[in-house]
Structure 1
Amino acid sequence: MLAGELESHQPVSATLQANLDSCQCSSESSSSAPKGETGAAAEGLNFGHISMMGRRRVMEDAVSVAPPGKVGGEYVFFAVYDGHGGCMAAEICSERLHKCVDENVEKEKKSPEDKSFNWEKVMMECFRSMDEVVAKDKSGDDEVVVANCGDSRAVLCSGGVPVPLSSDHKPDRPDEKERVEAARGNIINWNGWRVEGVLATSRCLGNHYLKPYVTPDPEVTIYKRKESDDFLILATDGLWDVVSNEIACEVVRRCLNEQITRPLPGESGADEAASMLAELAIAKGSKDNISIIIIQLD
């Protein structure tokens, strides 16, 4: 039994070469079959599978193998799913479609031994059902949830405009200063504003000797996605101490559009953008550690 593709593409010829081991591939991670099912014999039926990224930059295919008896109590299920514009639909189908087929087969049977049910009807209902499931599952892409505790920062670029999704927990931030002082703590300017003259952030995990002035409670922002959202930058203050939100977004935008440089083989535009921002921070005199993640939202 073979489930149809999610998206059809032009056929691609493949040539097996001696250096196949240099290709990125997986024979289990994209399958719903338990370990050991790959290449197993199913009542005289031998099967094996592989899923390769090939020359693409991302992996959007998925494979599903349900062992004998998992579908309708007696059938073996095989499916390949060709994702389009992302892997989400392919992954959802590889996890659920064979279960949907199993349920519908059992529903159509008049008796446990019955094999005269309408396969076309079963498959039609399953594919329509999965189409609805995929549509509903996209709700998880509608929000970006940011939890921040400290002075790292999340900045989203939407339509070319930076949108801060977190606010740095600096001791001199008016509401943070008020909170610390209400707990009988002090904000002291000692080579920069610090809680009790020690800690340069008003919230963090650890530093228990500064409680209750310093809290581990995060501030949570829930952002509703828009069509114009481009990418998200998550970075520690080693970047933000010397690079503004606007400059950071402009550098990333140009890297993703390949206006500054082209990614090296094996790198994505997001990799290149993160490296470029780190180099910029160092060039501008950052004296702190620098960690950066770029997430494309298209």
Structure 2
Amino acid sequence: MFSGVKKNASACWRPVRRYARMNKDTNDDDSTHHDRNDENSGSNSGARTSFSSDHPLLWSRDLEKHFLGEFSFAVYQANDVIEDQSQVEIGRNATFVGVYDGHGGPEAARFISDHLFLHLIKLAQDRRTMSEDVIRNALSATEDGFLTLVSRTFKIKPKIAAIGSCCLVGLIWRGTLYVANLGDSRAVIGSLSRSNKIVAEQLTKEHNACREEIREELRSTHPDDSTILLMRQGVWRIKGIIQVSRSIGDAYLKSPELAMDHSFPRFHFNEPIRRPVLTAEPSVCTRVLKPTDQFLIFASDGLWEHFTNEEAVELVHNSPRMGIAKRLVQKALKKVARRMNLKYEDLKNVKKGERRKYHDDITVVVIFLDHDLLNAEHSFEIPQVSVQGFVDTCGPSKFNVLQQTT
């Protein structure tokens, strides 16, 4: 249907209606998520998990085990239909974190959650190793799969061409950390300095037009497009529409044919685009974890709008591990309340959808690093489980297929 979109078939397709559904069709959103194997519903090791009674839009798993320590996970919904999707996959010698911040609707983020990790597992199994190339190729296969879905469903649901998602991935593979990013979610590591003080280091590059570096990159790659960057309501936006320069999806910003399609007048361009406006090329980095590295924070920009790296790292370092992801979310909401001259209790009572005026969906995963476990003989077996944000069930992780991978 449109050039540049590969027709690769995914080995893990789910029914098209799961992704082609638009916001007005998603009142049964929870039921679509509970099709996972729920035999291990709740906790994998006695962990605390729930939708909080005093925060009906807050979901958390306060403390769980992974092969190199513990992790805490929390999600707070602001949109009428939650657009943040997220997952933590626990393996015998590996931990995977995915934070997918959707925009225009939840479909692209859901698709990533369903497919990216499976692509990663298959590629690592085929190559018998893990590498930056494996991660890049897994992201590329996910992009190809979603764009193929768009080409199949565009005539039925044209708006799907305007749906996309940021994508933040973290993978601890034995003693090595891989981080890949598309968009403006962020991964930060907290490490001890020589003076034993906690120091924040940002591991990801944010692909957002608010950054001069990104604007220069866009002007360089689109020298013949005087409208590649436009200021709208005091904010730099690509083509005056979107702030992030890299994403999964957003097909109409990557396909000249769709950019001129009149099926969705709100989005189409009056003049053709000569090349894709956005890309799905991730920034990837690798880091051999050091004994001074204490923890990792993976979060959507819903958190980082209210915290500096240093503030977040200090809070994690100086607080109990139990429920730390939830504590970060609650602190962010208290900052929102103060900024808006609201009482915190009043902000908590604002309904989903309406509260998007105050803050975005927020996803936070904190991964603690207990280095003495790296080469230790475990006295217990770490359950290999898959935990999905905002879903109170968990099932077995596909990591087990990699047990023999070197």
TM-score (norm. length: structure 1): 0.49
Structure with higher Rg: it is 1
TM-score of the superposed pair, with normalisation by structure 2 = 0.36
Higher relative contact order at CA 8 Å, sep ≥6: structure 1 or structure 2? 2
